[in-house]
Amino acid sequence: MDNNEKAEKTTGANKRKRRRKEIAPFGNYRNYYGYRIGQEFEEDPRLKVLKKEWFEGKDCLDIGCNNGLITIAIAINTHIPIVYARMLLNLGRVKSFSCGVLIDDLLKGISTFCAFACATVHELKTKKFHCQSILGIDIDPNRIEDAHWNLRNILRKENADNMCSNTSNIDVVEKANALHDCASASSNKQTHAISRDSSIRKENDLSDMVYFQQENFVQSLRPLQDKSYHTIICLSVTKWIHLNWGDDGLITLFVKIWKLLHPGGHLVLEPQPWTSYAKNRLVSERTAANYSEIIHFPNSFQEILLDKIGFRKVEILTSSLSGSKTGFNRPILAFQK
């Protein structure tokens, strides 16, 4: 191999290395959630500290949504009827639900099922947020494109699950009809009541609840869909706004959030610690310049939001988040307007 070939090979290797090193001056990493969350966890651990009453039936805003996974997770509803259908099918395989069962045993089995189903459904519901609507915004159009892609994939999966549940419901009806043929009229009334309670109710389509929009929240002059919000989440975003637009940009962020919130609404904030600023201060000339001029450090954000912006109170949801990789176990605060 001559010197020219070696030089070309070295140049190609260097280009590939540069391509692998992702530059994200706004924290707009493509695979942010992939390396933030521990592989042993199925969902973002931050979801566990959020309170359902802040989101249920509410209009919400996610600032710095990245690829939209948190945004979509807050919008997803538990398909309770599918849970009922699956448990009914499992119980249909139990011997006590055969046609030869006595009526008393049948009713006792139905009663046990109802108690178990209600407890299970309650447990599942407490883990879901059921928001009315949620808008995710991000400065990077590529991340918004990723968010739309993720939403389409989840919608396809949801449609496939619904098709499976419809098949399951047909099986449930057939089992109910079999019970009808071998049980008394009184037990039939009980069974049909259970069937009605377990019927599929239409859930809001995710496409009617979740929206994504490319937006520079700090510098934009246009209103976000000309509405107010009950809950605004801003997770691991303050550092990037602070580095790119300085103290003025940070205060603008807080003031805009306060104005967009309904009275009594909540801001869920996850600020990065000051130590993490130093690691990213050199991503651009602007961030390097702003870093040296910052006087409002993260440990003063709580005081700023309460005493200067006008939030009434703050709740510390967690001082250290379990389930996140090293460097991401940050405090999460909830401020009420």
The model's confidence at residue 116, banded by pLDDT at 50, 70 and 90, is very low
Helical residues (DSSP H) of the chain, grouped into ranges: 3-20, 32-36, 69-75, 80-92, 103-125, 141-182, 185-197, 238-260, 274-280, 285-291, 301-303
Taking Cα atoms as reference points, which of 158, 152, 160, 155 lies closest to residue 67? 152
Question: Is the pTM for the entire model greater than 0.85?
Answer: no
Average pLDDT, the chain: 74
pLDDT 10s digits, 175-217:
545 544 544 444 444 444 434 433 333 445 788 899 999 999 9
Among residues of the chain, what percentage have pLDDT more than 90? 44
Residue 301 — φ and ψ, nearest 5°? -60, -40
Residue 107 has a pLDDT of 45
Report the candidate in 103, 113, 112 with the shortest Cα–Cα distance to residue 179. 103
Looking at residue 320, what DSSP letter applies?
Answer: S
Q: In this structure, are residues 90 and 112 in contact, taking their beta carbons and an 8 Å threshold?
A: no
At 21, is the pLDDT very low, low, confident or very high (cuts 50, 70, 90)? low
Q: Which residue has the higher pLDDT, 163 or 124?
A: 163
Q: Are strands 261-270 and 229-235 parallel, antiparallel or unpaired?
A: parallel
Of 204 and 255, the one with more pLDDT: 255
- Quote the percentage of the chain above a pLDDT of 70: 58
Q: Are 89 and 168 in contact (CB under 8 A)?
A: yes
**In 3D, which of 322, 337, 181 has the Cα closest to residue 262?**
337
Give the list of residues 6+ apart from residue 24 with CB closer than 8 angstroms, or none: 283
For residue 126, which amino acid is it? T
DSSP characters for 120-148? Answer: HHHHHHTT---BSEEEEEES-HHHHHHHH
Residue 211's DSSP bridge partners are 135
The pLDDT confidence band at residue 318, using thresholds 50, 70 and 90, is confident
* pLDDT tens-place string over residues 44-95: 788 888 999 999 999 999 999 999 999 999 988 533 233 332 333 344 334 3
